[in-house]
Structure 1
Amino acid sequence: MKAKLGVGALIVLFLAGLWLVAAPFAVGYQPRGEEYLDATVNDLWVGGGLAALSFAALVIYAADALRDLARRGKHADS
């Protein structure tokens, strides 16, 4: 149960990071063709970092789960 909750939280954090990256352009507070506002730069850095960290954590979790499955498969053959 804890693993499902953790994976769910990582997915929500990943989607939140993606939203932060897209928000300045989707909502429209970044004028088209102009220099990036400070708020846009902040959203891009924070959102990109949040999305990257949560994606890395998801990949690490998936790799650990696959390693655990492979370990169980080797013991089943014996």
Structure 2
Amino acid sequence: MKAKMGLTALFLIFLVGLWLVVAPFAVGYQPRGAAYADATVNDLWVGGVLAGGSFVVLVAYAADALREITGRGRHSAD
């Protein structure tokens, strides 16, 4: 149960990070062709860190789960 809650939280953090990266352009407070506003730069950095960090942890969790699954298969064949 705790693992599912943690994965759900990581996935939500990943989505929030993606939204922060996209928001300045989707909402329209960053005019097209203009120099990036401070808010846009902040959203890009914070969103990128959140999305990137949570993605790395999700991939590490998936790799660990695959390693555990393959380990179980190897031990049951013996």
- Flag whether TM exceeds 0.5 (same fold): yes
Q: What CA RMSD, in Å, does the superposition of the two structures yield over aligned residues?
A: 0.5
Scaled by the length of structure 1, what TM-score is found? Answer: 0.98
Letter in 1 for 2:18: L
Gaps (5+ residues) in structure 1?
none
Q: Classify the secondary structure of the residue corresponding to 2:31.
A: coil
Aligned equivalent of 2:47: 47
Counterpart mapping for 1:7-26 below 5 A = 7-26=7-26
Gaps (5+ residues) in structure 2?
none
Scaled by the length of structure 2, what TM-score is found? Answer: 0.98
Question: How far apart, in 1, do the equivalents of 2:23 and 2:10 lie?
Answer: 20
Deviating above 6 A after TM superposition, structure 1's stretches of 4 or more consecutive aligned residues are none
